[in-house]
Structure 1
């Protein structure tokens, strides 16, 4: 997105370094293709967390996109912005210009909303946002049950209010994924002032004193250096950005010394403040048909494939979930603190295929967890994966919300017309009843929703990494522009907010150039 917006100015030269390859894999463009691209080393970094005591010592797979479009090329396509209060809280913490009224225009600027324009949505942007092209009985029953449980229906959780139950919207167009590569990069690639280099894995930033002058990257077996007279924009995500900073000697001196990296700029917050949404998956067997029945057998798979090929409809257009719920884990809360992702199917793992019975999945996560993790390099070599310590369920608050969230999930399942088609709670099972047992179920049956954020925190405190212009504290010529800058994770899926961050950053960079900040010619390098 940055490459598109910044290269709109013909006087600016932009170099985009992409560690992955081209987005040629056809499964990238089929919405349900995340079943094929996640955990595939050709398109996914295939990160693995450290063993985490909060989830019974388990290690979780953290997919991250290693392809043009990054994680937008293999995510679940769900378009969620978060709550107004998320951004107002960012601004109240000292980040001027990040309140909701200030960021809403950037959400609207990116968006091409299928339903049309209004005060919250735009239609002139490149990012296609559309309604689901799939409806199933079990989803309708789930929505009705949520209403019966006292949750209001909400047709637009990205509008005036978030609370409620309704269908997700997704970043797709006419049955095809709309990644950031498709929406923003492809239309800009013909510009003579934009250069793209693929398979270019950034190894470190180049510093001249306290000024970042360029980057070193590896392509194949060769190291290359490129210099930017104006500034470097680090957009490598909540894992990659802190890793590159640390490999460049920017971070905690003691930690850097322990792995053989000379500290060139002390910045203790790099890699800290890691946050993620942990979902607790409940699976219910049903007597009514679900997608398990539609995609389980080879002949039915052929029929599903034919339907998609000829009409761009059917199960292959499925986003990661159909129905979303934003509600409260306790009645005394002022704003929703939990989110549901309802899927009209069930599986132990996507790669294993669906269960051999009719079932649906009701996943629930805490929107604003208080647990904080950390990402630390274990080697000066950027090709060596860092240590990822999420520290899930490490606070009393998060444990309490996890227990209460399971109770809300069960309360929805107990309502008609959903209850009449449920034959069994398959996961975790009806025998898990006490608060202690429910917490144990949360530790055992939880998974990430793939929303790492916060590891290059925006702010002014001792642990802040960037200021409200996204410039790295104490350095010239370097900004971080990705989900890592979030002080507190947004209340929902992170793709749309990350695109908004880039839209706003592009305007700030253009304004700085117009005003002569920072000094130097208008050349920009993106890693």
Structure 2
């Protein structure tokens, strides 16, 4: 079927967190025609707005349903959920709204992302949020996204927080701020008892604007280029083919997997890989799809001494952020109080219990996103390479021991039946390393495949423009040079808010 052509000032690919922010901001400008393309459905999942039901969303059409390649650490593929639909991962995630510690943003500057330190990004992080009850000096108070600590508080979370303090860790007043270490009540993107996604906060208020077109169920095939400049995209909706021409900029907000995948399908990436999958090279850009990072996670699971009450929130209301070694510049381990049984051998929330989760915030392991085919509908090959660097396993071993120490504190005595995983018999390092491999979980935080920088392996410059291709930017978690020491969604809001300013400023 012949393609249908349309023309816009801006074409945005991906209606996840960043896409919703940027589409809303750019469509505020008079006369700027904006097209937002999304591969998923316009219709939300029935349980999508119910906070404690989020684990049930991971196997629905609201997630891409992909898995990693077999991981050397486990010998098997691992589930790798990411959002698909308006709001993207903000519509299926665990709703924890936590900035990384400031030290992890300052690491971006050290990696070549000049102007992207914590203080540089802070105004944009604040601009996205309305942080109820937090310090207005460092938190946003009038942004579109309403966030705040859990209400009501879950008794297991209260007990884990008390256990952490009993164990000797500091209490944090606002662990979501990026300025503190210790244990405290994290903010949640929940408003009036319902999930509050990027689509709710940003896109819904903009949907009636005459210059904003939102097309769902749209599979973007490639970015089109002429004479070294992006000119638009080709996409399909069902059997119908479309071309959207772009007068100003194409903006990729398809996420760490999707943005890298689309660049590669468009012939922008490492030439040898493109040749292997039969894609004609438009630009040899070797860093595309490299530098993939995620937070590896594990849990200590407890069988409860009494029934655990159902959660009214997201199952993880308390966060701890600490250093495994006091000589480090910043925290490298995060802990969660989880009011359900959570481990790699069963769906989250199956069976009675509670858990203390531990995740490595500063992994050294690096993986890749690669094409399996040049065909638009082909699933990518995702390899996070968990524990590829032995350092990561050793720091996680420290974290696992800390989680068990917290779990043994007297504050948890009323809830603690027995340790179900890794179990009392697992005591020496070999046993615990085996548990770290067998109970390895993704934390759903992939970043880095289109990183900011100025070296030959960087994909975008410090204004998020793709090196070597005019009129093309990327503004999502893929641009992070290194992963932040916290859940990534809050940071993506900040990146997107800044990107909207950069894009609007370029056309003024």
Aligned partner (choices 493, 505, 508) of residue 511 of structure 1: 505
Among 414, 422, 425, the alignment partner of 1:431 is 425
Instruction: Report whether the alignment pairs 1:79 with 2:97.
Output: yes
Residue of structure 2 aligned with 1:38, choices 53, 58, 61: 58
Q: 2:109 pairs with 91, 99, 103, which one?
A: 91
Q: Give the equivalent residue in structure 1 for 2:4.
A: none
In the TM superposition, residue 117 of structure 1 has moved relative to its aligned partner by 5.2
Distance (Å, rounded) in 2 between the aligned partners of 1:354 and 1:320: 9
Q: 2:56 & 2:404 partners in 1: Cα distance?
A: 31
Instruction: Give the corresponding residue for 2:407.
Output: 413
| Residue equivalent to 1:360 | 354
Aligned equivalent of 1:235: 253
Residue aligned with 1:61, SS: coil
Structure 1 pair 430–187 and aligned structure 2 pair: CA distance change class (3 A): same
| Map 1:439-518 → 2, pairs under 5 A | 439-514=433-508
Deviations for 1:147-183, whole angstroms, at most 9, x for unmatched residues?
1111101120133733111122101111111100010
Q: Distance in 2 between matches of 1:354 and 1:318?
A: 13
Judged with a 3 Å threshold, the aligned counterparts in structure 2 of structure 1 residues 367 and 135 are, in CA distance, closer, same or farther, namely same
Q: 1:181 corresponds to which residue?
A: 199
Partner Cα distance (1:488, 1:348) in 2: 26
Q: What is the CA-CA distance between 1:4 and the residue it aligns to?
A: 0.5
Partner residue in 2 for 1:4: 24
1:122 Cα deviation after fit: 1.5
Q: Shift in Å at residue 138 of structure 1?
A: 2.2
8 Å Cα contact 1:278-1:449 kept in structure 2? yes
More moved, 427-436 vs 211-220: 427-436
1:369 and 2:387 aligned: no
Whole-angstrom CA distance in 2 between matches of 1:234 and 1:259: 22
List aligned pairs for 1:376-415, cutoff 5 A: 376-415=370-409
RMSD: 1.7
Out of 162, 170, 174, the position equivalent to 2:188 is 170
Instruction: List runs of 5+ in structure 1 lacking aligned partners.
Output: 295-314, 515-527
In 1, Cα distance between the equivalents of 2:71 and 2:58? 22
Residue 348 of structure 1 and its aligned partner are, at CA, apart by 4.9
Equivalents in 1 of 2:78, 2:461: separation in Å? 31
Count how many residue pairs are aligned between Structure 1 and Structure 2: 488
CA distance in 1 between partners of 2:189 and 2:345 (Å): 21
Note if contact 1:44-1:65 (Cα within 8 Å) is conserved in structure 2: yes
Mapped to 2, the partners of 1:25 and 1:386 lie a distance apart of 24
Task: Tell me what 1:120 maps to.
Answer: 138
SS at match of 2:176: coil
Give, in whole Å, the separation in 1 of the partners of 2:151 and 2:331: 27
Q: Deviations over 1:465-489 (max 9, x none)?
A: 0001000001101001100000001
Q: Which residue of 1 aligns with 2:6?
A: none
How far has the Cα of 1:8 moved from its partner?
1.1
SS of corresponding position for 2:260:
helix
Q: Give the C-alpha shift of residue 335 in structure 1.
A: 2.1
Alignment TM-score, normalising by the size of structure 2: 0.93
Checking the alignment, whether the CA contact within 8 Å between 2:44 and 2:85 is kept in structure 1 is no
Contact 1:458–1:466 (CA<8 Å) still a contact in 2? yes
Runs of 4+ in 1 over 6 A off after TM superposition: none
The 8 Å contact of residues 145 and 418 in structure 1, kept in 2 or not, is answered as: yes
1:423 Cα deviation (Å)? Answer: 2.7
CA distance in 2: counterparts of 1:77 and 1:350, whole angstroms: 23
Match of 2:47, SS state, is: helix
What is the alpha-carbon distance in structure 2 between the residues aligned to residue 420 and residue 35 of structure 1? 27
Q: 1:371 to 1:348 in 2, by over 3 A?
A: closer
Deviation, 1:352, is: 4.8
Distance between the aligned counterparts of 1:146 and 1:116, measured in 2? Answer: 22
Distance 2:351 2:382 in 1: 34
SS of the residue 1:26 aligns to: coil
Q: Which residue of 2 aligns with 1:306?
A: none
Counterpart in the other structure of 1:300 = none
Query: Counterpart of 1:524?
Result: none
Asked if the contact 2:335/2:357 (under 8 Å) is kept, the reply is yes
Name the CA distance, whole Å, in 1 between partners of 2:100 and 2:264. 30
> Residues 350-405 of structure 1: CA distance to partner in whole angstroms, max 9, x if unpaired?
98574544x21111010010000001001011210111111100112101101111
Partner of 2:336: 341
Q: String of CA shifts for 1:46-83, please: whole Å, max 9, x gaps.
A: 111000012x2121111111110111000111001101
Could you tell me whether the CA contact under 8 Å between 2:71 and 2:385 is conserved in 1?
yes
